[in-house]
Amino acid sequence: MNFDKVENLAIAAKNGDSKAQIMLMDEFKPFIIKLSSTSIIHGYEREDLRNECYQTLFKCIFQYNFDTHRFIGYATNAIKNNINNLIKTSCKRSNAEGSKALIMDDKFVSQLAEDDEHFEDRICNKAYNRSIKDFVSQLNDRDKELIQFVFYERKQLKEYSILKNIRYSTVLNRKNIALKNLKKIMDAHEPSQYKN
């Protein structure tokens, strides 16, 4: 490129000469073709990249200050920076588009609604379990230990009978008695305290 020729074309183009704009496009065409051919950006084809480069070139024409530096350096840096910004933006957006994108279809929306319902159930169950624990704490130590072992630790009655060296039928009776005692304690309280 002839620096003086490009500088004069830029001045003429800034003053509104459309012929000078076309000639500037021709001067930068090899640079733009090479840059757009070597750049790969998600969502952009080569022609799109060339158009982005030409658009940046025209912005440079109208924003260029002739007193500071040469137009060629200013325009080539601006075009390269624009392509680099497109690459950065593409990298940030690639997870939100394409095969990794989250698609809000009817199935996904219904799944979200189901998850929300499960969340409400979990909150209610948590409150219910907290009140149950309060009632269990009012039982005698033997009933409390058995309920803790079977229901909270989720172990078998057979394991409890072996651990305590008690017959299985006795453990079964104790469990039933412990549950009856728990029911009596719960019935003695206002139902709204432990029902969801």
Q: Which pLDDT belongs to residue 177?
A: 92
Q: Are residues 51 and 139 in the same domain?
A: no
Tokens for 158? 């057979």
Amino acid identity, position 143: D
Is 127 in the same domain as 55? no
Residues 45 and 63 in one domain: yes
Report the domain count for the chain: 2
DSSP character for 189? S
Q: Are residues 78 and 123 in the same domain?
A: no
Which of 71, 99, 127 lies at the terminal end of a domain, its last residue?
Answer: 99
- pLDDT by residue (tens digit) across 25-49? 999 999 999 988 888 887 788 899 8
pLDDT reported for residue 95: 55
Higher pLDDT, 2 or 153: 153
d(CA 171, CA 164): 9
Q: Are residues 85 and 110 in the same domain?
A: no
Are 57 and 127 in a shared domain? no
118 plus 180 within the same structural domain: yes
Between CA 170 and CA 189 the distance in angstroms is 29
Q: CA-to-CA distance for 18 and 26, rounded, in angstroms?
A: 13
Residues whose CB falls within 8 Å of the CB of residue 195, separated by 6 or more in sequence, listed in order: 128
**Domain at 154, CATH number:** 1.10.10.10
- The least confident of 89-98, 134-143, 160-169 is 89-98
* Last residue of one domain, picked from the residues 99, 133, 149: 99
Structure-block tokens of residue 13: 């183009």
Whole-model pTM: value is 0.48
CA–CA separation, 70 and 4 (whole Å): 9
One domain, residues 111 and 64: no
Does residue 196 have a pLDDT over 50? no
> What pLDDT, on the 0 to 100 scale, is given for residue 131?
75
Output the pLDDT for position 111.
60
Based on the fold, state whether residues 128 and 84 are members of the same structural domain.
no
Average pLDDT over residues 66-71: 83
The verdict on 19 and 87 lying in the same domain is: yes
DSSP 96-157: TSGGGPPP--HHHHHHHHHHHHHHHHHHHHHHHHHHHHHHHTTS-HHHHHHHIIIIIS---H
Structural domain including 160 reads 106-193
139-179: per-residue pLDDT in tens? 999 999 998 898 888 899 899 999 999 998 899 999 999 98
